[in-house]
Chain A
């Protein structure tokens, strides 16, 4: 009896979580533009999607910003994490706490504060400001993915490498980097997904002509239902699913331990 109840309850919760997405996906193949009736199978919303210049440009900017901000944030975060690790207690405390601010602060506050900064600096809101904003909120996640790995590392390894005649950079590349690599990869994945998914901060820090997918969806949904968004959702859902499956496979191959997901 209890077992069936449990199964039923879990079933209902997963139905609640997935039914809306699944219905959206099914109706992306509907010929009619209304979701009240099924008019037959059609791929026309997908055709519309790929011929919609706004959506395609948003997709381009989303990916471009995600890739650029991930690369830059990972480099900055990696270097900074190493620096922070070597700081004295006070410096470390200050750095960690200030870096935590963008994580703790509500997105909307981060968004408007950056917007005010850019307007104050007379930077025109657009691609550059969007990129700067994304790097700003990504770096802390990279730092906090790498710091624990540095803490776990045996610091004598690096010294040993130096004693054996390695240059600091060579020792970094051959000793430190391999040790902290899992943290770097975690940070990168986090940064990339956060950037792709971000709406609130992007909404406030971008200007005319440069939108990411979230902003496009928001402005379309505000007006009402549009079946092209259904098609877009379907494609995004499938890409997220594939990405997660790959990441999961990768991490479970690596070390059987549970990962950050």
Chain B
């Protein structure tokens, strides 16, 4: 009574809409048209190593890195507090943490656009206390702010879900053995929470590297991240070859770091957070 055949229609779908598109990316990324027809080339990948494009990648990684660090520094204490005894039963706080994740991220980004603009609330407040208006928008800190705002819950929730599962008796044992609260944190709580930290870092860093919306809306035109570059190549200049090569590079980067991360994440299975 094997009924594995019922999956076959999806096998067709999968090949058509998952496998073939990826093959297309690889195809366009490694081929150029000459008068004689198509030929294999690595020129698109070579082009990526021009300083201009390397800078774009470095900038994307740099901003995503800062965003991840800020999220970790801001988010870890939040998770700890939410998982602590006084707050543990306040499920409503976790619920409040989740809501922004379900809110359209364009609207969340747009909200900051309205706050930071020349005549926005923040500048109104600044001029109210007598200081000159500032250019808050369209620089890289606005982009980082937008990223942190969008991705902070993705850091808090995985760490929280690991922290509340830590066996309290381990902490008590450490305390009984004379560890002060700093040692308990350093030697017990933090190491045990690492799987959550790792998945939090993954969930923040990955979307931050590949975003093109936040950088476009809050960074204006001039802060080109790798996502913006890919978007322009496909939708404006129509350079599919180079765009595909960049996508391949990005994909390898992401899948590679996912593979590394997932080795640490194994213990975190059943965290239940999507």
Does B11 lie within 8 Å of A108, measured CB to CB?
no
A interface with B by C-beta (< 8 Å): 3, 6, 9-10, 13-14, 16-18, 20-21, 23-24, 27, 34-37, 76, 79-80, 82-84, 86-88, 91, 95, 98-99, 101-102, 104-110, 112-117, 120, 132-133, 136, 139, 141, 159, 162, 168, 190, 193, 196-197, 199-200, 204, 213-214, 217-218, 221-222, 225, 229-230, 232-233, 236-237, 240-241, 243-244, 248, 258-261
Q: Interface residues of A: mostly helix, strand, loop or mixed?
A: helix
Question: Could you tell me the distance between the alpha carbons of A39 and B124 in the complex, rounded to whole angstroms?
Answer: 15
* Interface band, chain B: 35 or more
Q: A76-B9, A109-B25 are in contact. Are A218 and B250 (CB under 8 A)?
A: no
Chain A residues closer than 8 Å to B258, beta-carbon distance: 104
Q: Bound state CA distance, A237 and B102, in angstroms? A: 9
Residue among B124, B217, B254 making CB contact with A106, cutoff 8 Å: B254
Q: Is the CB of B10 within 8 A of A106?
A: no
Q: Which residue of A is nearest B7, CB measured?
A: A83
What residues on A are CB-neighbors of B13 within 8 Å?
Answer: 76, 136, 139
Contact with A along B245-271 (1 / 0, CB 8 A): 001001100110010000000000000
In the complex, what's the smallest C-beta–C-beta distance from B68 to chain A, in angstroms? Answer: 16
Contact A105 B254 (CB under 8 A): yes
Docked-complex contact A240 and B206, CB < 8 angstroms: no
Q: How many angstroms between the C-alpha atoms of A82 and B22 in the bound complex? A: 26
Contact A10 B82 (CB under 8 A): yes
B41 in contact (CB, < 8 A): no
Q: How far is the CA of A116 from the CA of B112 in the complex (A)?
A: 33
Q: A17, B100: Cβ atoms under 8 Å? A: yes
Chain A residues closer than 8 Å to B77, beta-carbon distance: 9
Cβ contact within 8 Å between A225 and B111: no
Chain A residues with Cβ below 8 Å from B166 are none
In the assembled complex, B243 has its CB within 8 A of some CB on chain A: yes
Closest Cβ of chain B: how far from A32's Cβ, in Å?
10
CB neighbours of A101 from chain B (8 A)? 18, 22
Chain B residues lying within 8 Å of A244, measured Cβ to Cβ, are: 95, 98-99, 102
Instruction: Check if B131 is an interface residue, CB within 8 A of chain A.
Output: no
